[in-house]
Structure 1
Amino acid sequence: MSVLHGKTIVLGVCGGIAAYKAAALTSKLTQAGAIVRVIMTKSAVEFVAPLTFQTLSRHHVFVDTFDEKDPSVVSHINLADSADLVLVAPATANMIGKLALGLGDDMLSTTLLATMAPIWVAPAMNVHMYANPAVQHNMQTLLSRGVRFIEPGEGQLACGYVGKGRLAEPEEILAAIELHFKGEPRRLEGQRVLVTAGGTVERIDPVRYITNDSSGKMGYAIAEEAVRMGAKVTLISGPSALSAPEGVQLINVQSALDMREAVLARLDESNLIVKAAAVADYRPSVVSEQKIKKKSDSLTLELVKNPDILQEIGTLKKHQFIIGFAAETERLDEHAMDKLNRKNCDLIVGNDVSQEGAGFSGDTNVVRFYDRNGLVEALPIQSKKDVARRLLELAADRMHTAAGES
């Protein structure tokens, strides 16, 4: 029996030539046993008749918010509540903007606002519209709220342009939905994972310190995903406003020296180490026991170098798989590869923190994965949770391969 049997998929169809692919998708979902409830925008009706979707889904198609077909329920609330997943395909720039702004002025947008089910969006539009900063900003906003995007393909578009913006193929969308309901295998079952996160605090005196902009969000997302994948997870975190993910052993530290001590104490027992923390490179050579008073127009601090925790565990490692992070503002590929080789990492995650959608405080990231042979994979902007999932999938595959060869 298909994993989609009995699952209710609410399919939102927006106005665009790619609406014909939504008809094919409806057919495939229905054949797989899903209950498909279709909502069309008024623009979508200009491209494909509602009767097409009604025939393929064997259910009424909804277009008008005020056309209540069943007096016992409010249709958009009933659809929102019954959905196991809401998919908008094709999604226009207009609907993406509405969802990002929380607007509800038609049947589809009100249903999207009301549902508690996962929302997936499959964009389809002109290449320049897709690249427009406003559209990208709206997508980034939705990513930060947990909306999942199915990336459009590249190729010849209906408007005549060649580029990114073509709706993903129905087979590709169906496969992604099936994987979602199938549940992903616990690829890190039995593994002990050590994750570091956040920035460190290097004291100047009792009320002042040196730190950086790290929020800890990337490391916490990795710890959470590692638990979901079956690992026993220890999270060593610098000061952060985040709550520890469920199932994670949290160890709070302050300084780089504290973090080093905590990491080295758990090195031997760990199978996978992910060094996502932004550890301060330097600390004051002298920490004043009392608050330093203002006595002159300038203050000189002598800083000394902190131990390089990643390089140290790279030197000491035996069986461990080690992942480092390289936050850069220029020459990302060059600096990331240099860091990977110098610090004996198995993988390194590079990101240009000056790039929109990347960096410390946001909920999204734009990263590139490297191994000793160079670039492994470049991810488009997506939630830090999705980045964490892909990183751990890659690590798990390589760890299993190495175990099989040993």
Structure 2
Amino acid sequence: MSENDASQQPSHTARGAAELELGQDTLDLLRSRLAAVAEDTVRAITEEVPGYAGAFTGPMGATIQAAVQLALGGFLNLAGQPRAGDPGTPMAPALEGAYALGRGEARGGRSMDALLAAYRVGARVAWRDLSATAVDAGLPAGTVSKFAGLVFAYIDELSAASVAGHTDELATTGRVRQRYLQRLGHSLLRGDPVDRLAAAAERADWAPPRTLTAVVLPAGRVRTLLTALDPRTLRPDEDLPDLQADEDESELGVLLVPDADGPRRRALLRTLQGHDATAGPARPWADVRESYLRVLRARRLGLIDQPGQGEAAVDTEQHLAALVVSSDPAALADLRRRALAPLDGVRPSTAERLAETLREWLLHQGRRDDVAAVLHVHPQTVRYRMGQIRELYGDRLQDPDVVLDLTVALARG
């Protein structure tokens, strides 16, 4: 219901009020009592509705009192107009005012509870005073009864207009804030300057956490996962930066999760289980781009497709060596060629077996039985192969720099 809807809808109350036979003298008498009725109504509301205790003092009280008087006067205008007239027109100002009142309550961060309670109290007090005046004017009991029903129906229409205004304002505010949160998320993924990020956070009414952790997962899993995460989690789901041509943005979702570092990281990874998600490292909130880029690199390395892993969450912190080794593929290829050059003189199949044995020998610090167990060969086979390797490398296997180069060159990226 929009503001125009509130003021232009046909009204059963308006038609009923126009059919009341109050007479001009009765209408004049009721109008003369409006100021006093409005004063009593405001007093009762401030006394009986906790949310408005003391809220209507000073100039605000006079303003609200005038608004109440206007609303009641609008009803009497309905009752006093000719039956042939448009019964909706006199209600327009009151309904527009009620709609605006509801929007104002939402902008002030208040729920509708207090305002609806105020309407209930106002209806009771207004009818008590107006009915006493109607009886004094000598209205028939049937007319007084109909008058009562229409007064309460009128208050119901005003409260409905306020609810509509409150709902519309919340929806509008929510959409605006969501757009600001989206822009903040995009700024973080782009790595915008800190001052720009701080301004974007302030616009979005988002209190920056200590850290943010980037999580990338299938877009279809995002909505379900969000309900289990910190409410401050950001969801920049459009125009994701740094994606390669073969990465379909519509299939990916990104979440920036606040304060998921330290012991909380284990809880985050448990939450991510079953969602085919990859989690980057926690970073100071303004530096979360680093976390995001690491996740993208991990996905490109195929860490999410390891055998037997299924939909378990991938923790990039458990794959740092692979990420480091793969950071410069060309440099790694050059290092491998240089470090493994002594194997160039043997057959390729033999060179592959020797390189595999050397790798496990370095990793297990020369423990022959452990190497044999990993390679599924006899320990004597390991001894034979290492004899070949020592012949090819000579004293270089005693050089720490050579050992470091071989360890890195033989690492599995």
TM-score bracket for this pair, using the shorter chain length:
under 0.3
TM superposition score normalised by structure 1: 0.25
TM-score, structure 2 as length reference? 0.25
Choose 1 or 2 for highest CA Rg. Answer: 2
Report which of the two has the higher share of strand. Answer: 1
| The structure with more helix, counted as a fraction of residues | 2
